[in-house]
């Protein structure tokens, strides 16, 4: 027989249990779960030799970031050449704290079924976890206006991941380049930007000409750190005050690209000289084209023509404009699908 005392004890136990569960939910928040590590079932990782990849970046321009964002007097990172971010090769170029890499492609990326492009970093795995350095990813349809993939970071906010420490729980990361260790890449699906495309006329998800990577400074100090879209600070190895610090770009592979038209000229342009250049000095480009001479124009941000000339197959020099700043090279030939190229003179 259950006594009144027993009923009271049970009621108290039930009340305390509910309170404890509520407190646990407050102290230990739940996190969204995304694709797991490359070696777990359900992963979204793509191997660099996958037959899904149809093309690689054709040009890469890097703006170096700092050795340590909290001490800019140390200078900027220096490891690797801009061209290391092109093709299926083991070379890398380091971005440093807040560094930026902008890539263009032989033909625009399109929004197909599933992932549309994949980004490779040189992270490595250990038994204790993965050494990962992360970057935000942005895309553009004109080389001027960029739009960022919505990111999620559910990594701890109380303990800083040190410069030689590993990350566990990659399933709590989403839409960050560098989530997977080499030789696996992180895929990106343009469908994630459909809402942005509806409200931004400059974003055409079936014509992505540029992909930009922005180093996600890994400090959990809010003075220097950067927050993911869900509000959390990105926590990855920090500080990394050495020449190869920050996100290390290996390559960007294209999965879905615009089809070739029968009348389309195919042009590949890459920057040869160290970028940017001094005002008054030309910038040298390497051009591979299946068509004849191609005219180009340079424009500034206001749309004013700042230079023009002709490109031929092989080495070319683009003359300096009369004033410094960013100038955009656009191929002036009907049918050519070469993306806008960003040139900078000091």
Query: What is residue 257's predicted lDDT score, i.e. its pLDDT?
Result: 95
pLDDT band, residue 14 (cuts 50/70/90): low
Query: What is residue 289's predicted lDDT score, i.e. its pLDDT?
Result: 74
Fold adopted by 46-254: Jelly Rolls (2.60.120)
- CB count in 10 Å sphere of residue 177: 29
pLDDT band, residue 333 (cuts 50/70/90): low
Query: What is residue 28's predicted lDDT score, i.e. its pLDDT?
Result: 41
Beta bridge partners of 62: 101
Query: What is residue 8's predicted lDDT score, i.e. its pLDDT?
Result: 46
Which residue in the block uniquely carries the two structure tokens 């109380």?
158
pLDDT band, residue 330 (cuts 50/70/90): confident
Task: Check pLDDT > 80 for residue 260.
Answer: no
Higher pLDDT, 17 or 326: 326
What CATH number has the domain spanning 267-345?
A: 2.60.40.3080
Query: What is residue 294's predicted lDDT score, i.e. its pLDDT?
Result: 83
Query: What is residue 90's predicted lDDT score, i.e. its pLDDT?
Result: 85
The pair of structure tokens assigned to 80 is 């690797």
Task: Check pLDDT > 90 for residue 331.
Answer: no
The reported pTM is: 0.71
- CB count in 10 Å sphere of residue 334: 8
Query: What is residue 24's predicted lDDT score, i.e. its pLDDT?
Result: 41
Contacts with 70 (C-beta within 8 Å, 6 or more apart), sequence order: 219, 221, 223, 224, 239
**In terms of C-beta density within 10 A (0-12 exposed, 13-18 middle, 19 or more buried), how is residue 170 classed?**
buried
DSSP for 227-292, please give it.
B-TTSPBP--S----STT-S-EEEEEEESSBPPPPTT---EEEEE-S-SSB-TTS-EEEEEEESSS
Tell me which residue of 233, 289, 237 sits closest to 265, measured CA to CA: 289
pLDDT cut 70: percent of the chain above it: 84
Tens digits of per-residue pLDDT, 54-80? 999 989 999 999 999 999 999 999 999
pLDDT band, residue 259 (cuts 50/70/90): confident
Tens digits of per-residue pLDDT, 175-221? 999 999 999 999 999 999 999 999 999 999 999 999 999 999 999 99
Query: What is residue 2's predicted lDDT score, i.e. its pLDDT?
Result: 46
Query: What is residue 11's predicted lDDT score, i.e. its pLDDT?
Result: 53
Contacts with 302 (C-beta within 8 Å, 6 or more apart), sequence order: none
Average pLDDT, the chain: 87
Tell me which residue of 238, 205, 250 sits closest to 92, measured CA to CA: 250
Q: Domain spans of the chain?
A: 46-254, 267-345
Query: What is residue 266's predicted lDDT score, i.e. its pLDDT?
Result: 60
pLDDT band, residue 22 (cuts 50/70/90): very low
Cα gap 336→308, rounded to integer Å: 16
Average confidence (pLDDT) over 271-275: 70
Beta bridge partners of 59: 104
Q: In angstroms, how far is CA 30 from the centroid of its own chain?
A: 27
């Amino acid at each position: 027989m259950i006594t009144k005392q027993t009923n009271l004890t049970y009621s108290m136990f039930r009340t305390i249990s509910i309170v404890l569960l509520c407190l646990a939910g407050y102290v230990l928040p739940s996190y969204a779960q995304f694709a797991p590590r490359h070696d777990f079932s359900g992963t979204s990782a793509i191997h660099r030799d996958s037959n899904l990849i149809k093309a690689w970046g054709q040009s890469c321009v890097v703006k170096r970031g700092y050795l340590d964002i909290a001490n800019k007097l140390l200078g900027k990172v220096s490891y690797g050449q801009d061209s290391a971010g092109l093709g299926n090769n083991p070379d890398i170029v380091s971005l440093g704290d807040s560094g930026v890499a902008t890539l263009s492609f032989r033909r625009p990326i399109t929004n197909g079924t599933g992932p549309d492009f994949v980004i490779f970093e040189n992270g490595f795995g250990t038994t204790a976890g993965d050494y990962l350095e992360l970057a935000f990813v942005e895309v553009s349809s004109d080389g001027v206006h960029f739009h960022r993939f919505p990111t999620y970071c559910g990594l701890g906010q109380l303990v800083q991941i040190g410069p030689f420490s590993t990350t566990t729980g990659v399933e709590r990361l989403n839409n960050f380049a560098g989530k997977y260790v080499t030789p696996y890449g992180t895929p990106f699906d343009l469908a994630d930007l459909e809402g942005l495309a509806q409200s931004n006329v400059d974003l055409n998800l079936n014509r992505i000409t540029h992909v930009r990577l922005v180093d996600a400074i890994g400090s959990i100090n809010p003075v220097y750190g950067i927050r993911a879209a869900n509000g959390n600070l990105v926590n990855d190895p920090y500080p990394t005050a050495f020449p190869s610090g920050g996100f290390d770009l290996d390559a960007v592979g294209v999965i879905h690209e615009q089809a070739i038209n029968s009348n389309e000229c195919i042009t590949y342009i890459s920057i040869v000289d160290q970028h940017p250049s001094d005002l008054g000095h030309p910038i040298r480009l390497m051009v591979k084209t299946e068509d004849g001479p191609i005219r180009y124009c340079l424009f500034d941000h206001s749309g004013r023509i700042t230079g023009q000339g002709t490109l031929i197959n092989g080495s070319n020099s683009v003359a300096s404009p009369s004033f410094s700043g960013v100038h955009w090279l656009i191929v002036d030939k009907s049918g050519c699908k070469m993306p806008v190229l960003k040139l900078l003179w000091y």
